[in-house]
Amino acid sequence: MTISILRELLPRLATFKPSGQIEIEVRGIAAPGTVTVWHLGDRIAELAYDGNGALSVPPLLPGGYGIELDCDGEVFRTAVEVAEDLRARLRYGFVASYAPDRELQGVRDTVRRLHLTGVQFYDWAYRHADLMGGGESYRDALDQPVSLEIVRSLVHMVKTAGCRALGYAAVYAVGPKEWGLWNHRALLKGAGEAYGLGDFLLLVDPAAEDWLTHFIGDLERATEALGFDGFHLDQYGYPKQAVRADGAVVDVGASFAALIEAARIALPGSHLVFNNVNDFPTWRTATSPQDAVYVEPWEPQLTLDSLARTVSRARSLSGGKPVVVAAYQHVYDKAESAEADRATALTMAALYSHGATQLLAGEGDRILVDPYYVRNHVVEPSTAAMLKRWYDFLVAHDSLLLAPEIVDVTTSYVGAYNGDLDVSFADAGITETATAGSVWRRVTEVGGRMIVHLINLVGQPDTLWDAPRASPGNPGAARLTIRRIDGFVPRVAIADPDGIGRLTDVPVTMEGPNAIADLPPLSIWQMVVVDLTGRRTA
């Protein structure tokens, strides 16, 4: 099955260049209407749509924009990103099927609909230690059919949608048939047993000179033969230290860093993403010459707060690289879609509000529920609609969510001692960390704006990110209090991905030294943007 949305706005590309027209396909909407382009709550352009199935918006400055088409009161929405540097953001998706008869167009639509800037080609290779050794058609190591003609077609399709195609490659895994060539580089447990994954892979030192030469050569051949833009470099999170078969003691984190360095030297133009499994060893690899900091969380990273801390650590080390978290939503395998959708929404809220994206969606209609991507989940229409809303929201508010220069100022502004800016709810408490039964509040600053993130955990029994979630509780009436700057009335705007998806102004009243704004009801996540010098007083 592939998602079929009969009426929608679909950007021609996932990312547009500043010098070009913004082309948007209009599917199933023949009535004329009015197109509005929004940037952070400001209307910057208005155009007529004549019902011909296509929109063209003049070139825009770099940034994220919301696009709305109003046809007699029925509003259709999308978002567009305009960027000079295609590596500055990684909104990551996946493909995991290369059978000769597979459907292709759904992948292109997913890239465009969710504005994906990178697609991981999971398990396309013949064998882990022999990527290109299967010829044009073969069964992979777990007996899935692979046609390299299909791989090339998908690579081309992803690229022409304005996205990058990254081939999956495990950096130190060897199958039984190839083990005789590499067992002299084995990473050993006690009693000389090699570390492995299940019963079908064994592990070698990724920085051993002969292995490194072989592995990098395989990446070069795959780039030439298939056209990959780069590679997703995978590992399994262990061992941290081990003895090699020749007796050398190996710091595996250091070996990973050496491998990334070697891949960059050999493939200077490639987009490289290394998997820090359970945050190992992000402290070493975040500064390596790769293009993102990518973390796959497992126990003990089970709560929303643990995800937030992981992202904050990664951003502090990243040097401005995008941060991606592979938070697989296993919850869809054990809960009703509505309960699972709420879990996913809370996960996205935690990640987006802390400056990271999530590897989740891919193929034509799938999301990840398992580390073996072939075992994915076909989404319900409600899930597909939610993902579109939330990815649109992420793109339209990019500079307030993902910009590297965003800083957390929560402890400097909130609370009685500071008294500068805070929110109160009539029927719920406010917390600085994710706490069941409360509203989780975070304040950031970027470009002179204050951003207050409000995540609703009222009515939740715990803060697990991969567990069925109850309907959000009602925290009651919300009031924002701001210590104003003399001579100015602050501008306050709110946005909710499950609302209209763009910033809308909220009335502000003056009470002595403070400015007050009553906020609309909180659902799952609300972003409140405050410009302290919104307008001068009369």
Let me know: does 234 contact 161? Beta carbons within 8 Å. no
Give the whole-angstrom CA distance, residue 157 versus residue 136. Answer: 19
Q: Is the peptide bond before 239 cis (omega within 30 degrees of 0)?
A: yes
Per-residue model confidence as pLDDT tens for the chain (538 residues): 455 568 999 999 999 999 889 999 999 998 999 999 999 999 999 999 999 999 999 999 999 999 999 999 999 999 999 999 989 999 999 999 999 999 999 999 999 999 999 999 999 999 999 999 999 999 999 999 999 999 999 999 999 999 999 999 999 999 999 999 999 999 999 888 999 998 889 999 999 999 999 999 999 999 999 999 999 999 999 999 999 999 999 999 999 999 999 999 999 999 999 999 999 999 999 999 999 999 999 999 999 999 999 999 999 999 999 999 999 999 999 999 999 999 999 999 999 999 999 999 999 999 999 999 999 999 999 999 999 999 999 999 999 999 999 999 999 999 999 999 999 999 999 999 999 999 999 999 999 999 999 999 999 999 999 999 999 999 999 999 999 999 999 999 999 999 999 999 999 999 999 999 999 999 999 999 999 988 888 6
**Looking at the chain, which residues constitute the CATH 2.60.40.10 domain(s)?**
8-82
Shortest CA distance to 170 belongs to which of 127, 220, 136?
A: 127
Which contiguous run of DSSP H or E holds residue 407?
Answer: strand 407-408
Paired tokens of 395: 């793109």
Nearest-angstrom CA–CA distance, 267 and 221 = 11
In 10 A of CB 45, how many CB atoms? 15
Q: Which CATH class is domain 8-82?
A: mainly beta
pTM comes to 0.96
229 secondary structure, DSSP code = S
- Tracing tokens 């197109």 back to the chain, one arrives at 35
CATH, domain range 407-536? 2.60.40.1180
Which residues of the chain form CATH 2.60.40.1180? 407-536
**Calpha distance 446→406 (Å, rounded):** 5
Q: What single DSSP character describes residue 303?
A: B
